[in-house]
């Protein structure tokens, strides 16, 4: 009974209320995301462990500017203000000072959330879900899953009529597909609903479609996110971010990576994590002449436009170049064939770009 009461209470949680016009709230399918007044995503820093203080100093704030509060702004509830070393007021949420990423030039970007930046996290409140449901990642997309990590599906020919489910999955079908049972005291709210089945049990539904899990599907099974034929479809909450038309996917010894039109592996350069190497290697100012012998910039056409996490920018050389999550994109001169990943042996500031959004295992790079 306690678990059922907790479920009902969790579904009643509301979005945070901004304390002033300097803070905004963006609603995504999975969370309420904190933003600044211009709609830029806001982050928290795990190294801010001392109450009332920021561990992001003069060098850090170049990349991670603080979200400042005016002297007239008042704080209450989960909102507070800290006084920075230079005397400015900075907003904090639940005791954590708030920042934005200097690389993000458009509202809604989330460039700061990368496996190479584990100490920086998006400041957000998860939107409550039924306690029987979890979220998992597949191919860079976010999907619904049960508590055992099995992907949840809907069925095209299911219908909910007069608040009751008419399902095309019966008899033998139910040995392979398990309805996601809902407790008797579960409450419908927002996108989530509870529908009676023909066997007088309750089943969870999302956006009007009943949910099922495959009875014998391994947790790490590969999932077709866009099946060409029904009736079963995985529930994709957040789709895989789109990519430019010239970007391809390529299998390598380190897993699936993004590549150029020739299948050559793409690498992102995280300049601010590098030391200044004026006579060799790369530098904080960009990929210098020595660096260019190893890495080749990926040029962006004059009419190229931002798409997903990809953005055409002007590099330090004045050339138009593609960037991924704010990092300039290159290929490696010694990658001769599709699937080569020689660039993973370079400095740790070079990262292969995986469609999964995760770090490449065993190479020292992401």
Residue 273 is predicted with a pLDDT of: 56
> What's residue 13's pLDDT?
66
Beta-carbon contacts of residue 343 (< 8 Å; ≥ 6 apart): 265, 267, 294, 295, 330, 331, 332, 334, 335, 350, 352
- Rounded distance, CA 194 to CA 81, Å? 42
∠ CA 208-211-215, rounded to 5°:
165
Q: What is the pLDDT of residue 272?
A: 60
In this prediction the pTM is: 0.82
Identify the pLDDT of residue 162: 78
Cβ neighbours of residue 1 closer than 8 Å, sequence gap 6 or more: none
- Residue 302 to residues 129, 132, 299, 313: CA-CA distances in angstroms? 44, 49, 9, 10
Instruction: Categorise residue 147: left if φ over 0, alpha if ψ from -120 to 50, beta otherwise.
Output: alpha
User: pLDDT tens digits, residue range 47-75?
Assistant: 999 999 999 999 999 999 999 999 888 88
| Predicted local confidence at residue 179, as pLDDT | 94
Instruction: Name the strand (E) or helix (H) holding 79.
Output: strand 79-83
pLDDT tens profile 248-263: 999 999 899 999 999 9
Residues of the chain with pLDDT below 50 are: 1-11, 274-284, 363-366
What pLDDT does 200 receive? 78
């Amino acid at each position: 009974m306690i678990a059922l009461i907790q479920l009902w209470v969790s579904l009643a949680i509301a979005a945070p209320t901004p304390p002033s016009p300097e803070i905004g709230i963006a609603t995504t399918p999975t969370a309420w995301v904190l933003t600044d007044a211009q709609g830029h995503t806001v982050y928290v820093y795990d190294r801010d462990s001392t109450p009332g203080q920021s561990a992001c100093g003069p060098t850090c704030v170049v990349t991670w500017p603080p979200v400042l509060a005016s002297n007239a702004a008042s704080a209450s509830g989960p909102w507070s203000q800290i006084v920075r070393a230079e005397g400015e007021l900075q907003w904090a949420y639940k005791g954590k000072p708030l920042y934005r990423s200097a690389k993000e030039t458009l509202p809604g970007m989330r460039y700061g959330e990368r496996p190479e930046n584990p100490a920086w996290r998006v400041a957000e409140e998860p939107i409550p879900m039924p306690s029987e449901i979890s979220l998992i990642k597949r191919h860079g997309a976010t999907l619904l899953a049960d508590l055992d990590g099995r992907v949840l599906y809907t069925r095209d020919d299911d219908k909910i009529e007069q608040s009751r489910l008419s399902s095309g999955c019966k008899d033998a079908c139910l040995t392979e597909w398990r309805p996601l049972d809902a407790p008797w005291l579960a409450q419908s709210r927002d996108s989530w609903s509870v529908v009676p089945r023909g066997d007088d049990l309750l089943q969870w539904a999302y956006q009007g479609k009943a949910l099922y899990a495959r009875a014998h599907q391994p947790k790490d099974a590969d999932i077709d996110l866009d099946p060409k034929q029904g009736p079963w479809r995985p529930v994709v909450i957040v789709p895989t971010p789109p990519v430019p038309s010239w970007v391809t996917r390529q299998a390598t010894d380190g897993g699936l990576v993004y590549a150029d039109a020739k299948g050559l592996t793409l690498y992102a350069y995280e300049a601010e994590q590098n030391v200044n190497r004026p006579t060799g290697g790369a530098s904080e100012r960009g990929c210098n002449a020595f660096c260019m012998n190893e890495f080749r910039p990926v040029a962006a056409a004059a009419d190229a436009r931002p798409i997903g996490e990809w953005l055409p920018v002007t590099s330090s050389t004045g050339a138009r170049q593609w960037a991924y999550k704010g990092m300039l994109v290159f290929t490696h001169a010694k990658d001769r064939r599709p699937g080569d990943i020689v660039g993973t042996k370079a400095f740790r500031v070079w990262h292969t770009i995986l469609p999964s959004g995760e770090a490449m295992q065993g190479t020292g790079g992401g």
